[in-house]
């Protein structure tokens, strides 16, 4: 039965990583147009603040006046997500 130990462990890690993925990594309220991921400087051109929430899976969601206006990045999935989880979580 030990032939399946690695498969079971990989599946366990994937499930944990999927639960961890949408946890908050950072929250930033600002009126800057120079964020490393920002390709939409027009969102802050009027000096009004935006809220950027970065998630563990690599996605950044930008909101303005309480409404989502843009998503930056692509969510990590599969092996890439598991590697990020193992590297960044305190297991």
- Total number of domains in the chain: 1
Q: How confident is the model at residue 3 (pLDDT cuts 50, 70, 90)?
A: confident
The strand pairing partners of 60, in sequence order, are: 54, 72
pTM, rounded to two decimals: 0.84
Give the separation between CA 23 and CA 29, rounded to whole angstroms. 18
Give the separation between CA 54 and CA 91, rounded to whole angstroms. 21
Domain encompassing residue 75: 2-88
Q: Tell me, what's the pLDDT at 91?
A: 62
Residue 39, CA distances (Å) to 47, 74, 82 in order: 16, 14, 27
Q: Tell me, what's the pLDDT at 19?
A: 95
Give the separation between CA 3 and CA 58, rounded to whole angstroms. 33
């Amino acid at each position: 039965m030990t032939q399946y130990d690695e498969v079971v462990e990989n599946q366990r890690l994937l499930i944990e990583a999927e639960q961890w993925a949408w946890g908050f990594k950072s929250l930033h309220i600002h009126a800057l147009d120079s964020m490393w991921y920002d390709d939409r400087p027009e969102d802050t051109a009027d000096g009004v603040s935006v809220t950027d929430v970065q998630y563990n899976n690599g996605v950044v969601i930008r909101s303005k006046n309480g409404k989502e206006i843009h998503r930056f990045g692509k969510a990590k999935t599969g092996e890439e997500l598991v590697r990020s989880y193992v590297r960044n979580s305190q297991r």
